Amino acid sequence: MRRKRLLRAAGAALLILGGLTAAGTVPATANDSATTAKAPASEGLLTAMRHDFGLTREQAEARLASERAATKLDPEARRTAGSAYGGSWYDADSGRLTVAVTDAASPATRAALRDAGATVRTVRHSARELDAAKARIDRLKAPSGVSSWHVDPQAGTVVVDVVRGRSADNDVQRFLANARAAGPVTVETVSKAAGTLAAGTVGGDPYYTGNVRCSIGFSVYGGFVTAGHCGQPSAAVYGWDRSYVGNFQGSSFPDNDYAWVNVGSGWWTVPVVLGWGTVSDQLVRGSNVAPPGTSICRSGSTTHWHCGTVLALNETVNYSQGAVRQLTKTNVCAEGGDSGGSFISGDQAQGVTSGGWGNCSSGGETWFQPINEILNRYGLTLHTA
């Protein structure tokens, strides 16, 4: 049964699995994908980008190439700008990384950034000042009418999202007054409050714990990472076929939303994200952080494969269970059961699905917990191709 499932699902979830007798079938999937690893992108990924972004094949290839260049340049630009750094983002229109700097940036610094390929913009507040303002807001207790808040380097403020129809609430007004006292703040309206994306037990992929179904994130050596709200430490985990996989070795929620599960009992890990037949299964080659504006895709057990754009980094989301910090905001849709699933940009792992609002019929927004924070917290090593 396990072998048939592997073949039908083209790899059976983000963590390729199977009995020891099926070991010969799994490496073939990874090796076949590896033959196209040097290409600009898989045919399936190009097709998905053409569909989701309305691009031609040539435009999709050009965007992926420019996003890779921007992602590579981003940490170098931060170091070059130093204390004058005001944030950065990918501009899809120009195909370049935009780096914001304050008036303190010297002409030599600005010239170095331009020579490296970045567009330079002058802003009033440094990233350090905006991060400090957000940290002060993080210490406030947010009412349910406040959905989230994040630093927006393009606006040069901390953006606070308020649920439509709740802005006049007294507790919301008090929160906003205190937030404005913490630093520069812009208030925006969102349709709904964010919620986590776990689901009750139903038939399907890919893992279960108790009566909850969630999605595997990324393979690490010894296990996989996923969302913290999916299970508590020591809780048993069962795969799509209900066979025992392992246990939650660490889990944190709220404040954070990450966890990791050890793998054994005939299951093993490979550096693959399932494309669900929409795209080819994607190899994972690293975890370079994609800046705001870059394209990103998500794989999950309910709604499978969907793509969109990174909207913001380091956002605090006010779930009903409590605030979760340092999440990345996207306009990729998700639904119940997608929690814990993979966010990937090109071949670079980005994070695990935390929560959101909306659905994949009408759209919405989804947040993920960055992968590098999870790896650092638990001392894990990402399994890469």
Q: Are strands 199-200 and 207-209 parallel, antiparallel or unpaired?
A: unpaired
Angle, CA 220 vertex, CA 218 and CA 222 arms, to 5°: 135
Catalytic residue, chosen from 74, 91, 257, 338, is 257
List strand residue ranges (DSSP E) for 205-303, in order. 207-209, 212-214, 218-220, 223-226, 236-239, 244-252, 258-262, 272-273, 282-283, 295-300
Helix (H) or strand (E) run with residue 370 in it = strand 363-370
- 91 annotated active-site: no
Number of continuous H segments (helices) and E segments (strands) in the chain? 8, 23
Q: Is 61 helix (H, G, I), strand (E, B) or coil?
A: helix
- 229 annotated active-site: yes
Which ranges of 199-301 would DSSP assign to H, the alpha helix? Answer: none
Catalytic residue, chosen from 66, 339, 342, 345, is 339
DSSP 58: H
Q: What is the dihedral of CA 356, 295, 149, 169, to 10 degrees?
A: -50
- 354 annotated active-site: no
Q: Are strands 96-101 and 119-122 parallel, antiparallel or unpaired?
A: parallel
Closest C-alpha among 342, 292, 299 to residue 100: 292
Catalytic residue, chosen from 42, 150, 219, 229, is 229
Q: What is the set of active-site residues?
A: 229, 257, 339
